[in-house]
Chain A
Amino acid sequence: MMNPLHYDHLPYILAAYGLFFGLTLFFVAGARQRLALVSKRLKTADPRARRHEGVGR
């Protein structure tokens, strides 16, 4: 296994992977939060909303 500390151009590699993970986490967290919020509000507005559709989880 390679030792990443000895890689040449390490700052560029770190910056690229940092951007990738940062943006991915931002979108995943955003989608999860939006889904949780709307699902909760829908369950409150319509108690008959169906759980198997992912509502109210």
Chain B
Amino acid sequence: MDASTVSAGDEVQSQEAGARPQRRSLHRFANPGRFLRLAARVQPWLTAPALVLTAVALFWGLFLSPADYQQGDAVRIMYIHVPCAWLATAGYTGLAVASFMSLVWRHPLADMAAAEIGPVGAAVTALCLATGSLWGKPMWGAWWVWDARLTSVLVLFFLYCGHIMLIRAFDDAERGARAGAILALVGVVNLPIIHFSVQWWNTLHQGNSIGITGSNTMDGRMLWPLFLSALGCTFGFAAIVVARLRAAVMERRLRGLLMAKAEGVA
């Protein structure tokens, strides 16, 4: 049985980690007991800003911000479509980082993080595609076009789905996690394709309206609710992933306890 599955094992790990010289490194958070304590404390600080920021942003976007001079009121879909698109790629980056950590350090917490990010990331990607389709129909006259941006985001959705299925396709969970991690890292190649697709190819999807270098082509009355919505949704995404990860760590600990009891009885 894995030592990290039982609470006694957590204490042993804590003591071992304490004896190491790199005590302040990131690895100390990989201890399940320490992670649970930290996550229980962090959870309300993710949930509260998510609720407040999203509520303010969506009210602002739906009722106070102006309609677009070309797109009319359909532009209000942007306040949920763009945060979902941002989270689809950011979530995949998180999945890839967890997969990398899982392959390098072989820590079960990294496997669990990748497994818990997957379904939430797939949901926001599906939401991005669905809201984009609902925005595209009145603007382009079509629910879907095989445009480079849309197609690359669809590929991202398939990558998420593939990861979810692959990690569950093996009897040995560790082998499944390794196969999923390799798939996740290979899929990273799709992220720059998504970002630059509107520059590399002639696409029906519009180009970037917001740039880090200050090349914004959007009015401030639309930019602020969009920024707040993206921030609120990011907090919400993190809150859901942390809650799922806490549950996964507890489930693992419970499995360990039940196995230990069963072995004791036998």
Q: Are B243 and A23 in contact (CB under 8 A)?
A: no
Q: What B residues does A38 contact at CB under 8 A?
A: 247, 250-251, 254
Interface string of A16-57 (1 = CB under 8 A from B): 110110011001100110110011011001101110111100
A31 shortest CB reach to chain B, Å: 4
CB distance from A47 to the nearest CB of B (A): 11
Chain A contact residues: helix, strand, loop or mixed: helix
B7 touches A46 (CB 8 A): yes
Q: Which of A2, A8, A12 has the most CB of B within 10 A?
A: A12
CB-contact partner of B247 in A10, A34, A50, under 8 A: A34
For the complex, is B244 an interface residue (Cβ under 8 Å from A)?
Answer: yes
A residues in contact with B80, CB < 8 Å? 16-17, 20
| Structural contact, B247 and A8, CB atoms closer than 8 A | no
C-alpha gap A53/B247 in the complex (Å): 11
Query: What is the distance, in angstroms, from B13's C-beta to the closest C-beta of chain A?
Result: 14
CB distance from B239 to the nearest CB of A (A): 8
B120 close to chain A: CB less than 8 A: yes
- Category for how many chain B residues contact A: 35 or more
B193, CB-defined interface residue at 8 Å = no
B58 neighbours in A (Cβ, 8 Å): 17
Q: Is the CB of A54 within 8 A of B138?
A: no
27 contacts between A and B (CB under 8 A): A2-B62, A4-B62, A7-B73, A8-B73, A8-B74, A9-B72, A9-B73, A16-B80, A16-B131, A16-B134, A16-B135, A17-B58, A17-B80, A19-B127, A19-B131, A20-B84, A23-B126, A24-B236, A27-B123, A35-B246, A38-B247, A39-B247, A45-B254, A46-B253, A53-B33, A54-B36, A54-B43
Extra contacts, 16 of them, besides A35-B247, A38-B250 (Cβ < 8 A), are A1-B64, A2-B62, A9-B74, A9-B138, A10-B73, A17-B58, A20-B131, A23-B123, A32-B243, A35-B244, A38-B251, A39-B250, A49-B7, A53-B37, A54-B246, A55-B250
